[in-house]
Structure 1
Amino acid sequence: MHVIYLVAIAAEAASGALMGMRRRMDLFGLCVVGTVTALGGGSVRDMILGHYPLGWVAHPEYLLFTVGASVAAALWARRLHQLKRAFLLMDALGLVAFTVIGCNIAATTEVHIAVVVLMGMITGVFGGLLRDILCNQVPLVLRRDLYATVSLVTGMLYVALLELGASVNLATSMAILIGFSMRLIAIRFSLALPVLEADLSSFEEENEKR
């Protein structure tokens, strides 16, 4: 699980740095966005659960690791012609890996199984939400993309496999593989949840008259 965590924070830090590059940020901005993206979701989860100290406080080397991953992604991205594709891949990997990690940590606090899944989703999506806010962009989690839904399904699958007696390694591998595949399929075929629309023109006209 520790190895998966390092992969997850590296992937999310890279996604944050790539997003910062698309917004033409300087090196300091890339490192800030990358670090917030990588560590933000876990920090929010731990504060909700009262799980202290926060991971990066207990292990400050994670800060250096995320900064390094951000710089490496920025340097590597110069050789890429399509930053968007690299960003989506890194973000998808970080999303599902953090979801599983969040579920695993929440389970150790002996909270209800529904809370375990919710904490997994918060861990998975909140770093990306903070990243998008810092980059002045509508967060992915609030758009039509299957984003939070993928995180939710990944967490539910992980918990269900554990409940059925699967080993932690098997449950982790299956959940990450299936969740990552779901996210890539959603991106490839532009799968999205339905948008509820309504004609509010008469309502707006009535308000203007008032």
Structure 2
Amino acid sequence: MTQRFCVLTYVYLIAIAAEAMSGALAAGRRNMDMFGVGLIAFLTALGGGTVRDILLGNFPVTWTQHPAYIYLTICAGLFTMLIARFMHHLHRLFLLLDAMGLIAFTVIGCNVALQLDYSLPVVVMAGITTGIFGGILRDILCNRTPLVLCQELYASVSLLVALLYLGLRHLGVDEDINLLASFAAGLSLRLAAIHWSWSLPVFSYEPGRWDS
């Protein structure tokens, strides 16, 4: 394994741990028991890759070949129960880790689809699915509107990262430079969106509102 993919793997491990902890916090807000916390943590961290593999027919599903991912995500979720009272002090760190995870998941998802020789639109959607679907599963199971689709730029950051990464790859840019540029652009955009509350226009439909 080359050095760049080792780095990407380390970022991925940090990201799934952070995502697992965010899932645990969401479960805690819904007063779930330990099993519920562990389950939501697991699905939040690994749900995006699972959905991607199922949609692409990429079997066996990635985490089934790496049991350590299961231990890491569930333990991270349960550990969150012990340190929950201190989590508000780590809010900014979690935002940074989450942004890094979004980019890492997106790039990894794109590479999985590329290795399976899918066309460009499928590759892009595979990257986005990997990046955001864990959060969607978390919010659905916690009975709330998926935050990745209605707050600061998030899913659109995944889209732009996928397009940038694939565009630079198509131009023959060195993979190390490509990853650095994709991470820099994605992190900058996501953190700027959080700081300045950037979001896409919202569609709000109320039956009867425009009826005469």
AA aligned to 1:63 is I
CA contact (8 A) 1:121 1:151 kept: yes
1:18 is matched with 25
Structure 2 gaps of 5+ residues are: none
Structure 2 vs 1, CA of residues 67 and 102 (structure 1 numbering), >3 Å: closer, same or farther?
same
2:12 is matched with 5
- Aligned partner (choices 187, 201, 205) of residue 209 of structure 2: 201
Whole-Å separation in 2 of the counterparts to 1:82 and 1:129: 25
Structure label with greater radius of gyration? 1
Whole-Å separation in 1 of the counterparts to 2:192 and 2:181: 16
TM superposition score normalised by structure 2: 0.85
CA contact (8 A) 2:23 2:138 kept: yes
1:60 is matched with 67
CA contact (8 A) 2:11 2:101 kept: no
AA aligned to 1:201 is R
**Counterpart of 1:80 in 2: which secondary structure?**
helix
AA aligned to 2:52 is R
> How far apart are 1:18 and its partner, in Å?
2.3
- Structure 2 residue 76 is matched with structure 1 residue 98: no
1:74 is matched with 81
1:186 is matched with 193
Identity %: 49
CA contact (8 A) 1:11 1:93 kept: no
Structure 2 vs 1, CA of residues 47 and 21 (structure 1 numbering), >3 Å: closer, same or farther?
same
Structure 1 gaps of 5+ residues are: none
Structure 2 vs 1, CA of residues 21 and 86 (structure 1 numbering), >3 Å: closer, same or farther?
farther
AA aligned to 1:118 is M
TM superposition score normalised by structure 1: 0.86
> How far apart are 1:97 and its partner, in Å?
1.5
CA contact (8 A) 1:95 1:124 kept: yes
> How far apart are 1:166 and its partner, in Å?
2.2
- Aligned partner (choices 107, 112, 119) of residue 112 of structure 1: 119
